[in-house]
Chain A
């Protein structure tokens, strides 16, 4: 029997893989030591667990274990990377380049930098959600210390041309940071081949536990340093103080190991399922995929259904746990800034649904989701005066609306 609701919001968070929980269990019980306790076996055992996890994580992204700085999650990693570079390289310059479609953890950190007197360029994206390399190149100045551009977008799954971006940043003497939150563990991310100097990522987007993330900080060619944003006992090579979350880190390590071994097979299966879901939903008239269909994560699709209203649509797809372009900053009724940056009108942004599939998503679930969404959209359109006008060939822009 199919269990409802069906979870298709895996860009928000993923369920914990039972194998990850199993790896964590000893560290939640018997092996409770502080990894920084050097004087007794309790501490040694914890440290051993952390060291092993560091290995597992570094293998996934092809770096040295010493280049992994553990944090509480991707938001903290984004903060540490951007603020840490801004402080550390203040002598060299004060300009940062990012994009308008970054996660708030990057955008709000950049706004904070502006308040401190820094300069930030927010590159626009095209209707595919991709930045222009020419515009990036043109934005580089001798003051540019950091280019920070996300790997894969959380709302659309659009994957930026990371290697080309890194090359441009380096050509102009800037560091390149990427928010890899959605991409790591889903597609191959290789910090050497990609030319990434700093990268934020987190466990709970790849079937690991919440509350643990990492900042990759390159140690050679060039040796990158960030100023600590959390002062204290000098953990993590002085870049992030605080007792390590040992069970979380062990789980993060296991999640990375599983991702390394299973990512290719997962991606192949999920992209087929995603394509099926997408193709079926596109058989509905006036439905549109948001973002690039060529350059994107394999498990994500974001679709707008014209002439239905977002909140009503969410209510209609109650058997699915999905996100909508109106609900992502849940408290406000503002449509998604990411979709608006792609050039979508407010109503199309509102009436979008984001589907994020996971390792645990089944064919049966996707078949159910297809029918459920089709029914909801069809029913709402039958109820929609806008749909009726559209069908009668009336241009909605010619109507004088009694605005509220």
Chain B
């Protein structure tokens, strides 16, 4: 399969690979996918409580080049965004940016889900109700 230049770039030079301390109240973690499906994505955000802004984002992904690129791109986009702005990230924006072929759209869905799960984890840790997440992608 031919990968787009952007996928290859993210795969070869992934941004923000790593781990944040999930025990911290300011850190939200989203873990999506399953090993037998061939994709597991873990996305973490660190939020500045005063400004509700994402100050750091890290990922680790087990998956194909498109899954790695989707999560790498997501961490780039998350940094500096408010939590509300982050919630608005749509998987199709990732598809467009990375020029993902139809068979790889699920990688972008996974990234969007990971973002939302990380935000919910952060919310619950801080006494906020979890948001209802739409499941229409599945």
Residues of chain A within 8 A (CB-CB) of B109 are 404
Cβ contact within 8 Å between A308 and B37: no
Contact status of A404 and B37, CB under 8 A, knowing A315-B11, A385-B42: yes
Chain A residue nearest to B3 (CB atoms) is A315
Q: Which residues on A sit within 8 Å (CB–CB) of B95? A: none
A98-123 vs B, CB cutoff 8 Å, 1 = contact: the mask equals 00000000000000000000000000
Q: Does A311 contact B (CB under 8 A)?
A: yes
A-B contact count (CB 8 A): 80
Q: Does B138 contact A (CB under 8 A)?
A: yes
Which residues B1-59 have CB closer than 8 A to chain A? 3, 11, 14, 17, 19, 31-42
B134 to chain A, nearest CB (A): 15
CB–CB B36/A312 < 8 A: no
* Chain B residues closer than 8 Å to A401, beta-carbon distance: 33-35, 40
Bitwise, A371-384 to B at CB < 8 A (1) or not (0) is 00000000000111
From A307, A326, A333, A403, B62 is in contact (CB under 8 Å) with A307
Q: Kindly name the residue among A308, A345, A401 whose own CB sees the greatest number of chain B CB atoms within 10 A.
A: A401
Binary flags per residue of A315-348, CB closer than 8 Å to B gives 1, else 0 = 1100000000010000001000000000001110
Residues of A within 8 A of B33 (CB): 401-404
- With an 8 Å Cβ cutoff, the count of chain A residues facing the other chain is 26
Does A139 have its Cβ within 8 Å of any Cβ on chain B? Answer: no
Asked if B39 and A309 sit within 8 Å, CB to CB, the answer is: yes
Which chain A positions have C-beta within 8 A of B60? 383-385, 388
Contact yes or no, A385 B38, CB < 8 A: no
Chain B residues with a Cβ under 8 A of chain A: 3, 11, 14, 17, 19, 31-42, 60-65, 67-68, 106, 109-110, 113, 117, 138
The 3 closest A-B pairs by CB, nearest first: A401-B34, A311-B64, A385-B42
Interface residues of A (CB under 8 A from B): 307-312, 315-316, 326, 333, 345-347, 350, 382-388, 396, 401-404
